[in-house]
Amino acid sequence: MATNPGVNSNFQMITFTPAERQAIMRLSRHFYITRAADTITIGNSTYRAFLMRPTEAVSTVLNVEREIVVLFSDYETFESRTLRAIDMVCDQFDDVRVDRSLRFLISRDKQIESSIRHYLSQDPEYPIVIPFNYDDFHASNEDFIFNAVRRNYLIRDLFGYQSPLKHEYFFFGRQKLVEHVIDLHKSGQNSGLFGLRKSGKTSTIYAIQRRAKATGCRTILVDCQDPAIHAKRFGPLLQYLVTEVRRELNLRKLDIDLGSSPDKISENFRRLMNDALATADTDVLIIFDEIENISPKTAASAHWRESDDALLFWQTVRSFFQSPRKHKLSFCFVGTNPHLIEMTKLHEIDNPVYLFAPKTFIPMLSPAETSELVTRLGYFMGLDFEASVVSYIHQRFGGHPFFIRQLCSQIHKKTSLNRPRGVSLAACKEAERDAGADIHGYLNEILSTLKKFYPDEHSMLEYLAKSDVATFTDLYRYNPAYVEHLIGYGLVVRRGDDYEFGFDAIAVSVKANFIKPPASDLDERWRQIGSRRNRLEEEIRTALYRWSSRLSSEEWAAALDSSLSAKRRTELSSIGRREAFSRNNSPLYFMEILKLVQLSGEFSTGAASQSEVASAMDEVNKKRADAHAKEISEPEYKKLVAAFELLEDIFLPPA
């Protein structure tokens, strides 16, 4: 239904001064005045305010659809408490009703514009404030309203944030994701949010906390990247959780000691946490940010990475979560990679948090959300982005909000201050060239993190860049999660049966970072690698044939079925053991042989666990001359040799 200008018949005009009524009536020519806010008192200062909804025409011009707060400050000098008063007015109303990113301020201060400019330059995340003086509403024409908006475009670079967004004013997209996490918590379920660096994870966490507070949910944020967290052993960290829950619930402080043995730590944690939740009569959502810092293999401290701390911590947490109590803890896992909840084992013991939470990857912005981000912030900076320019920006960065903001910030810096003015495609591409070094520096940082901690996913990006479909497909068959992660990150998209890069910039960065081949003895190295690999594969097939001979027909069929994809099951449905492990004509891929080795559970030694054997086989399979186009660095070569030596000790007969 269209909004017409005017004043709601129930609007309490009597609560405002004559000068304020005049301003309201002038604004009512372009807005629909809906209702007065409760009077705000801060110290000796009193502020009156109201809400107004833009008409359809004004909504298009201002790029605003919800109601706008207008505050009167009947004082000759601006003070920062005035902006606090606007925040308090906003808090009186539902977030769905009020646009918190834009406010109107009407003041007696003759220098109100310069005062606002100075204040907002100190707080770049504060919402847009359009300042007026009471006398402005004596103007004979209507241009003064829109001129005031235009004059205040250039206060700040609204695109140029590099830190996480702590407020919702310029947070775009992901609202459904935030609501989903809150809904899961309310129903007593856990959640997981995963994404690469600069993908907006921390901004999303802040949004979850804001939304949780607004709906009465209690949350605790645990920053696992902080040494104060990951340097703790599992017992002190559980003790920390009890203390933080009590603090969040405003319960009296206790001297807490969970004990030193795992059984006492678990018992006391359950007792004290139950007591806290029952006393406060509420549930609590605990958000673990940068979860990889207390996860096996990737943790920042050795006791989480290599010892049993991760196992004991999550066993205790899961036990508490499953206990039948009226009030519960639920958990939100936030990090780069969901491997913690994907691993079936932790140090050869069943992983207590395997599939403990649904995996959700932080989504890239949709084309519509990219358009909203670019055009809305651009409008308030005097930059008009045409649809073709927005489409180009989305294609280049695939809806990645950080890189979109960085490019648009560069456009702002290069554009004349004589605004408003349009942004052409040529100007966009020129700004992209100027910002290229910074943008690709961030992309390289993302790829470097991926390569260090999740080398398999990084290798798949290289195979894709080289059009090495065979190796890419091999890895996908071995572990479909690799592709799932890359698609979740927005780095890869699937079109039918084909895969391609999710956006142009990442393809360029991956290709630019290919390892340069060493100049000397590559051919000889690859000859030796191929020879060792072929002999090792023959011996593994022989060992597996002996193992399979001890299985019944039903057991063999089940083992083969478990190691094959659906398509391969159809192709090899009637294969026998001798044919499967033939030295010369076996139809099984190395990845399938690896799965059978894992399934057998027989080929470990005192010096090498089953997981170490599987990792070594995976390393040997990935390092093939045809897969790497003869590129291998010295550290990679040494790692490969170590893998060969481990497997040869197990499968090859003594020399």
**Residue 170 belongs to a domain:** no
- Domain limit, last residue, from 318, 337, 361: 361
Q: How far apart are CA 67 and CA 58, in angstroms?
A: 12
| CA neighbor of 400 nearest in space, from 264, 307, 502 | 502
Q: What is the pLDDT of residue 464?
A: 87
Which amino acid is present at 630?
K
> CB of 154 within 8 A of CB of 144?
no
The overall pTM is greater than 0.75: no
Lowest mean pLDDT among 58-62, 310-314, 331-335: 58-62
**335 shares its domain with 201:** yes
Q: CA 333, 338, 339: angle at the middle one, nearest 5?
A: 125
| Count of positions (residues) in the chain | 655
- Domain limit, last residue, from 106, 121, 155: 155
- Over residues 164-193, mean pLDDT: 78
Q: How far apart are CA 34 and CA 53, in angstroms?
A: 7
Q: What are phi and psi of 48, to 5 degrees?
A: -110, 150
Q: CA 175, 180, 183: angle at the middle one, nearest 5?
A: 125
Longest C-alpha distance within the chain, in Å? 103
Is the pLDDT at 514 greater than 80? The verdict is no
**529 shares its domain with 569:** yes
Token couple for 585: 């004509």
Q: What is the pLDDT of residue 133?
A: 92
Q: How far is CA 485 from CA 297, 399, 493, in A?
A: 18, 17, 11
- Over residues 292-314, mean pLDDT: 92
- Domain limit, last residue, from 480, 512, 544: 512
Q: Which residue has the higher pLDDT, 518 or 260?
A: 260
Instruction: Return the sign of the alpha-carbon dihedral for residues 106, 108, 111, 116.
Output: negative
**20 shares its domain with 126:** yes
**Residue 614 belongs to a domain:** yes
SS3 105: strand
Q: How far apart are CA 174 and CA 402, in angstroms?
A: 14
Number of alpha carbons in the 13 Å side-chain half-sphere of residue 453 = 22
Which amino acid is present at 436?
G
**357 shares its domain with 208:** yes
Q: What is the pLDDT of residue 81?
A: 92
Axis-axis angle for helices 504-512, 425-453 (nearest 10): 50
How buried is residue 263: exposed, middle or buried, by Cβ count under 10 Å (0-12/13-18/19+)?
Answer: exposed
pLDDT band per the 50, 70, 90 thresholds, residue 519:
very low
> CB of 85 within 8 A of CB of 103?
no
How buried is residue 381: exposed, middle or buried, by Cβ count under 10 Å (0-12/13-18/19+)?
Answer: buried
Token couple for 363: 């989504």
- Over residues 518-524, mean pLDDT: 61
Q: Can you list the pairs that 229-233 forms with residues at least 24 positions away whose Cβ atoms lie under 8 Å?
A: 229/293, 229/294, 230/293, 230/294, 230/299, 230/300, 230/301, 230/304, 231/301, 233/303, 233/309
Is the pLDDT at 37 greater than 90? The verdict is yes
CB contact set of 327 (below 8 Å; sequence gap of 6+): 274, 277, 278, 280, 281, 282, 283
Number of CB atoms found within 10 A of residue 654's CB = 4
Kindly report the CATH number assigned to the domain that includes residue 325: 3.40.50.300
Is the pLDDT at 1 greater than 70? The verdict is no
**Residue 566 belongs to a domain:** yes
Q: Which domain holds residue 299?
A: 175-361
**Residue 168 belongs to a domain:** no
Is the pLDDT at 220 greater than 90? The verdict is yes
**112 shares its domain with 150:** yes
Question: What's the total number of domains in the chain?
Answer: 4
**Residue 166 belongs to a domain:** no
How buried is residue 195: exposed, middle or buried, by Cβ count under 10 Å (0-12/13-18/19+)?
Answer: buried
- Which residues partner with 220 through β-bridges? 286
**297 shares its domain with 385:** no
**427 shares its domain with 328:** no
Most confident of the ranges 60-74, 89-103, 320-334, 468-482: 320-334
Pairing of strands 45-54, 67-73: antiparallel
pLDDT band per the 50, 70, 90 thresholds, residue 66:
confident
**504 shares its domain with 532:** no
Q: How far apart are CA 101 and CA 86, in angstroms?
A: 12
pLDDT digits (tens, 9 = 90+) for 453-511: 788 888 888 888 888 887 888 778 777 888 888 888 888 888 887 888 888 888 888 88
pLDDT digits (tens, 9 = 90+) for 561-585: 888 887 788 887 778 888 888 877 7
SS3 136: helix
> CB of 10 within 8 A of CB of 35?
yes
pLDDT digits (tens, 9 = 90+) for 586-620: 888 877 888 888 788 777 666 677 777 778 887 87
CA end-to-end span of the chain, whole Å?
86
Q: Which residue has the higher pLDDT, 234 or 417?
A: 234
Pairing of strands 421-423, 492-495: unpaired
- Over residues 36-53, mean pLDDT: 94
Q: How far is CA 527 from CA 117, 335, 363, 531, in A?
A: 69, 40, 44, 6
Q: What is the pLDDT of residue 32?
A: 93
**340 shares its domain with 427:** no
Is the pLDDT at 626 greater than 70? The verdict is no
Q: How far apart are CA 289 and CA 222, in angstroms?
A: 6
**23 shares its domain with 133:** yes
- Over residues 96-100, mean pLDDT: 83
Most confident of the ranges 193-202, 357-366, 495-504: 357-366
In whole angstroms, what separates CA 8 from the centre of its chain?
A: 43
**526 shares its domain with 503:** no
pLDDT digits (tens, 9 = 90+) for 135-176: 988 877 777 777 777 666 555 677 876 554 455 545 666 788
Token couple for 406: 């960085």
- Rounded to the nearest integer, the mean pLDDT of the chain is 84
Q: How far apart are CA 301 and CA 594, in angstroms?
A: 31
Lowest mean pLDDT among 66-70, 166-170, 215-219, 223-227: 166-170
Q: What is the pLDDT of residue 583?
A: 74
Is the pLDDT at 265 greater than 90? The verdict is yes
SS3 18: helix
**Residue 160 belongs to a domain:** no
| CA neighbor of 337 nearest in space, from 482, 194, 446 | 194
Q: What is the pLDDT of residue 629?
A: 46
- Over residues 270-293, mean pLDDT: 94
Q: What is the pLDDT of residue 636?
A: 76
Residue that has been written with the tokens 């950080």 in this structure: 402
Q: How far apart are CA 314 and CA 337, in angstroms?
A: 17
Output the DSSP codes for 212-274: HHHTT-EEEEEETTSHHHHTS-HHHHHHHHHHHHHHHTTPPP------SSHHHHHHHHHHHHH
Which amino acid is present at 461?
L
Q: How far apart are CA 245 and CA 450, in angstroms?
A: 34
Number of CB atoms found within 10 A of residue 187's CB = 8
Is the pLDDT at 4 greater than 60? The verdict is yes
- Which residues partner with 129 through β-bridges? 103
**Residue 30 belongs to a domain:** yes
Pairing of strands 329-335, 218-223: unpaired
> CB of 56 within 8 A of CB of 63?
no
Q: ω into residue 518 within 30 of 0, thus cis?
A: no
Is the pLDDT at 549 greater than 60? The verdict is yes
**Residue 164 belongs to a domain:** no
pLDDT band per the 50, 70, 90 thresholds, residue 221:
very high
Residue that has been written with the tokens 């790692």 in this structure: 639
**350 shares its domain with 408:** no
pLDDT digits (tens, 9 = 90+) for 387-437: 999 999 998 888 888 889 889 989 988 888 777 789 999 999 999 888 877
